[in-house]
Structure 1
Amino acid sequence: MVTRRRTTVTLPDDLLAHARATAPGGNLSAYIEHALRAQQLRDAAQAVRTWREKTQDDAEELADIFGEDVA
């Protein structure tokens, strides 16, 4: 079960109005959670790209050593 915690967030009036107007079923918490999870994925994308670039270099080095495609 996911633990949830109440928090306070201050938003510009126009942004809050938009979120309230478009939140499915009027559930502002679900709308904000969805937006934050999407941002979390965007934030992680750069770390994943960096990791893939580094492991690609490792794979090329292993291929040179073992003479086969390990990627």
Structure 2
Amino acid sequence: MASRTRTTVTLPDDLLAHARAAAPGGNLSAYIEHALRVQQLREAASVVRAWREHAARDADTEELTELFGEDVA
């Protein structure tokens, strides 16, 4: 299991009410974690699309490093 850190966020009342109502089993942390991971994937999708448009299927790691950073290669 990944390490976890407690944090505080401030949300509008209506958004918090919706999140609490929608949280499976009342687990607000799990609901927010899921929402953040979905957003992370949405943001990554544009980078992947750009790579696919400009790189051949057998792109070398140098191109991937430019797009995603050193940790990918």
Distance 1:22 1:51 in 2: 35
After TM superposition, the runs of 4+ consecutive aligned structure 1 residues lying more than 4 A away are none
Which structure 1 residue ranges, 5 or more long, are not aligned?
60-71
Question: Taking every aligned residue pair, what percent have the same amino acid on both sides?
Answer: 79
Give me the CA root mean square deviation: 1.6
Alignment of 1:36 with 2:36, yes or no, is yes
Gaps in structure 2 of 5+ consecutive residues? 60-73
**TM-score, with length taken from structure 2:** 0.74
Larger CA Rg, structure 1 vs 2: 1
TM-score using structure 1 length: 0.76
2:3 match? 3
Count of residues in Structure 1 that have an aligned counterpart in Structure 2: 58
